Structure formats: structure tokens, C-alpha cells
Structure 1
């Protein structure tokens, strides 16, 4: 029997309240294993961004603990440096993250702060720019980038740290359809190389298509599980003020017509639906 894998990073019975405010999160248990794709969903103001900041060490748990490789994280310089070499957060607005004169300078900031040799920094910057498909923008001033380019540059800065967990807050917000597809392709390459990705999103269709697992925040707390199972739970989606993904009733209809075997995964994009209908005639 295979022993259970220790999560890379984990919130264990975590709680948090902002100063002079109500409790935002309570008794949250959330674990991220290596190489997984996890969609974090919930209503506006429900605590998604707070959870991401707790997971990446930007906020400190008011209750419970943050664990890295099974050991509690110390919120001192050594402990946070260790955490941030493994877990990197990219915030929703790239303008809150980009600050250097050029793209390459911005992407190099994290590796340089680790005290890495110049050659290693250069290799990491080149690799991150290539991973995000923005190598031609290396010398471009960050203020001259389009919104989508700024998003990719901000993610490249996190990728240059070579984290085991990449945490993204609404990364597809503001991107056109082509930009979204290019970003998803990039995330898939990172996952293939072993990086776990946690993505906060309101897009249930994107979550169902992309993720292995879902974490849904509702007033009753956080529920986690396989993405197909959670996003088929109508009561949970209603509590979290999320709409149903279109692929769930489509799969149900296809099964009722004998076009999709019981237990088989249904189409999760229009292209997959077209291909299935073409095969079944």
C-alpha cells in the first residue's frame, strides 16, 4: 500500500480576522500536493484572497497553523524565506506587483534577493520569460506593456523563484479569450514540470475544465474535493453564490441519450462537445 504523500503546503484548522473586524475564515483545512491543479471558488468578500495570503505567508494565521512539508512555518526571516522559495503568490492586479524599470529587471528581483550567483539568476530569468512566452519583452519598460503582458510578467517573476506551489489570484480576469488560452497552456507546462497551481476564480466553467480539485468557500466553511464532484453539488454552489457550470447538465443530457457512457467524463469545452457529437454522429 502506498504511503500518503505529505502536502507541500497546508493550512491546518486556520482562522483569521482583520483588526477590529469579524472573523473572515474559521477552522480552514486546505492542503496542496505537488503537481496538482486546484481551483478556489467562492462569492466576493468570502475570503478567497485572505486564504491565498495565509497560504503564501503574506498574512499570519490567527488560529491554527501553516505547514510546509509537514512542519509549522516560523514567521521570522528564515522561516518566511524558506516558505517563499516553495510558495509564490501572484496578486490579481499586476500593477500591484511590477515595480522595476524593465521586465527582465522585475523578474530578476526575487532570485537576486536569494543571493544566487549572477549566472543562476540569468538562467532563471531566461527560463521564466520563455515559460511565459515573453522573451522578446525582456528589455521592455513595464509601464509600456499591455494588461495581458503585465499579467504574464508578474507570473514570470514568481516562476523565476522556481516554486513548488504557484498561487494565482484571479489570473484570467481582464484577459481576452486568446490571452486566457495562452495562460492556461503556460500553467499546463508548469504543472507538467511538477509545479502545483492554486487558482482563485469566479469562472466555474474554467475551474471544471482546468482543475483536478476544487475548494469552495461558503458561509458554512471550506469544502474540498474532486472538481467534478463539488461543482455538481447544486446546494453548495447556491450557498457560495456560484452558478452551475454548463458542462454538468450537458453531460447528464448526453448520458440520458446514450451518447456518453456512465462514469465517463463529459465534455468540458465547446470543442470537446463538438468532437464527441462528431464521433457519435
Structure 2
């Protein structure tokens, strides 16, 4: 896969001297679906803000498409066009008086014509099923609707990488399911997706790769099955095994001759459980 965003020996410390990220080297490749896991304060948010150009590394180098990202405002803005971020709290991103104005803000800031910006707004409204909310004030929408607006904000800028910080936080089950469906669709369309989450069940179901942070360091990077099989790693990172992963391990131990793969969904678990019982 093509490397889009690369960190080489990147470290970052806040003004009070707290080292938030230590000597990070990692690459994000085109089309990947990555879950970023770790306890609060592990370095996940700092990693995202560096990915998006909000923060600049104190040491080390960040490259996009092989080109070093400088610390100038121009370089940071160029990176933000390529790497969009959807924050945990929608109200942190929503500024405009109507949904349509909110979504047009990014494209217009890119210097696009009003006609092209309007076309992107229409496309984003359609993709996020928000057309009926076009002229509504976003601050009067529900939490799930606001979340969809913030995703539409970023999609209208046509990034190559989309970062989500705890996307399902504070959502009711119906809106969480709708968000998950949106993520699946974006993944199928080839969007590179990186999601920071505490939800190991979601990470196991959705991700193709997992990054595990602890105390400012990347302590693991690999397929979710490898990550969640490592008891010592999970304990160090303060993580639990996903429920379906544990259930799959139980099935494997009960039927070692079957070579049962660990289920990624309830449907898979039901199918394999019925097969082994029958």
C-alpha cells in the first residue's frame, strides 16, 4: 500500500514540560482502517493533532506523500487539506448559522469558487443524509445529527485521510449504528480512516490494523487478532479483550479440531456456534 502519512522519530512535549509523545515512528497507508487504542493520557490525541498539523513536532519529521511537512502556516494548511479530523465533541467544530453554511466553510477556505463550494456542500449533504437539515441552525440538532454535520464538514474538503476522535461518544444506539454504517461505507469507497476509541468491541469488529499507545509511546502496531491475543500487552495498555474475541477463544478451546476463526460480528459468531453445536 502507498504510504500517505509518515512519522519518523517524532516527539512532542507541552509547555509545562510533560512529554506527550516519545520518538514515534509509524506510517499510515492509503485505504487503511486503523483503530488507535490506549488509556486517557496515552498520547492518542496528541498523535491526531500532529497528524492534522494543529501541532508541530518538537523533534523528528512528519512526511506526507514522501514530502517533509514544514512548520510554516502554509505547510500546516496544506496538511489539513489532506488530513481531516472529526473531534469528539461536535460543538468544538460547528461555527456557522446553518448546516449548509457550516459545510461550505471548509471549501471556501480552500479558495474554491462559490459554485464549486456549493457543489461540494450538496454532495456532502447527500452522503450524510442531511439534505432536509440544510437551512437549520446546527446547534438545535441532536447529538447524532451534529456528528453527521461535522463529518460532512470534513468530507466537503475531500481529504485523503479522515481522523475520528471517539466518534460514537455520547451517541444513542441508533445514531451509533448509523455512524458505524457511515464508516463502513467510507471504508468501502477507499477512504483512509483512523479512529481513536476506547471501545475494544468496535475496534475488533471494524479495524484492519491497531495502534496501541501507552504513556506517550507506541507499544504495539499490528493486526487486531495479534494485538488482542497478547495478554501482557493488553494489561500494560489497560485494555480488555473484546467480547466476541473472548467468545471465539472459548469456541476454539472447546472444538480445537475445527480451526474456528475468531468471529468479527454477532452473525459470524451465531453461524459458527450453530455449526459446532450441530
**TM-score, normalization by structure 1:** 0.93
Among residues 230, 235, 243, which one is paired with 1:233 in the alignment? 230
Is 1:137 the counterpart of 2:137? The answer is: no
Partner of 2:38: 42
Alpha carbons 2:21, 2:216 under 8 Å: kept: no
Is contact 1:99–1:106 with CA below 8 Å preserved after alignment?
A: yes
CA 251–58 in structure 1, closer or farther in 2 if over 3 Å, else same: same
- Give the number of equivalent residue pairs: 276
Q: Distance in 1 between matches of 2:270 and 2:72?
A: 53
* Aligned with 1:117 (options 113, 117, 120): 113
Partner of 2:189: 193
**Structure 2 counterpart SS, 1:106:** helix
- Cα distance change of structure 1 residues 260 and 158 upon mapping to structure 2, 3 Å threshold: farther
2:99 counterpart (94, 100, 103):
103
Q: Pairwise CA RMSD of aligned residues?
A: 1.7
Give the conservation status (yes or no) of the 8 Å contact 1:166–1:198. Answer: yes
1:125-164 superposed matches below 5 A: 125-164=121-160
1:65 alignment partner, SS class: strand
Distance 1:276 1:237 in 2: 26
**1:1-39, CA deviations, whole angstroms, 9 ceiling, x for partnerless residues?**
xxxx44111221110110022211101112111111100
Structure number with higher helix proportion: 2
Quote the residue 1:250 is aligned against: 247
**1:111 shift after superposition:** 0.4
When structure 1 is superposed on structure 2, of 183-192 and 142-151 the one drifting more is 183-192
**What's 1:24 paired with?**
20
Normalised TM-score (structure 2): 0.94
Conservation of the 8 A alpha-carbon contact between 1:14 and 1:26: yes
Is the Cα–Cα contact under 8 Å of residues 15 and 28 in structure 1 kept in the other structure? yes
The answer (yes or no) to whether the contact 2:19–2:216 under 8 Å persists in 1 is no
1:260, 1:135 → 2: CA distance? Answer: 53
Kept in 1: contact 2:43–2:216 (CA 8 A): no
User: Which structure 2 residue ranges, 5 or more long, are not aligned?
Assistant: none
* 2:52 aligns with one of 56, 71, 79: 56
Higher deviation after alignment, 211-220 or 50-59: 211-220
SS of equivalent residue, structure 1 residue 57: coil
**Contact in 1 for aligned 2:42/2:216 (Cα 8 Å):** no
Find the aligned partners of 2:166 and 2:265 in 1 and give their Cα distance: 20
Paired with 2:163 and 2:49, the residues of 1 have a C-alpha distance of 9
Indicate the residue corresponding to 2:205 in structure 1.
209
